[in-house]
Amino acid sequence: MEATVVEHALAQHHLSIVRDRQTSPPQFRHSLEQLSMLVACEATKDLELHEVRVHTPLTTAVTRRLARSIGLVPILRAGIVMVEPVLNLIPEAEVWHLGLYRDEATARPVPYYNKLPAGSPVDIALVLDPMLATGGSACMALESKQAWGARQTVLISVIAAPEGIDRVHLQFPDTPVYTCAIDGELNDDKFIVPGLGDAGDRVFNTM
């Protein structure tokens, strides 16, 4: 399964802004939010719908609404910035946070917070993380969703590396991956190149 890349012109525009090291934190957050919305639109375009009859101001109409429960699972901390734009698209969605930080010595994810409930999983979990680098955090998050019992998972990122995509597809072949760009490689420090730096630091101005 290949990752789906959003080819929209506005995605290219906002990618240029988030990649630029001169971009201010407010500008960075804004463009990252726009990218999150664009990639979320692509990732959710085939969600299952059911027919609903509604009363318009003039008559009745047969319309369609989402048929399954949706959960947003941002990987803290950078994933927080992706929540609001996706929640604006799906205001009925649940939001469950998952905290992982990167051990700088090993580049491996370390869990520190898991707010997933013991039962009542959503039908579809959208895992939100701006950067898919090694795939370690993403796979740990997907393991949590699997243990939770979500029927379907979708991974939504802004920039991805081939290594991360390959790892997710190896461990979770049924999980589709959506992103706005697939960059060339990871450097020796396991950062995506050319990338955009540390998304969390740039979002929260903690560089």
Chain centroid to Cα 101, Å, comes to 16
Report how many domains make up the chain: 1
What is the model's pTM? 0.90
3-state secondary structure of 203: helix
Residue 3: band (very low, low, confident or very high) from pLDDT cuts 50, 70, 90: very high
pLDDT in tens, 110-161: 766 677 777 778 899 999 999 999 998 899 889 888 877 888 999 999 999 9
Asked if residue 162 has a cis previous peptide bond (ω within 30° of 0), the answer is no
Chain centroid to Cα 178, Å, comes to 8
Token pair, residue 111, equals 């869990």
Q: Between 114 and 175, where is the model more confident?
A: 175
Residues tagged active-site: 102, 106, 198, 201
What is the residue range of 42's domain? 4-204
CATH number reported for the structural domain that contains residue 149 in this entry: 3.40.50.2020
Token pair, residue 86, equals 């996706």
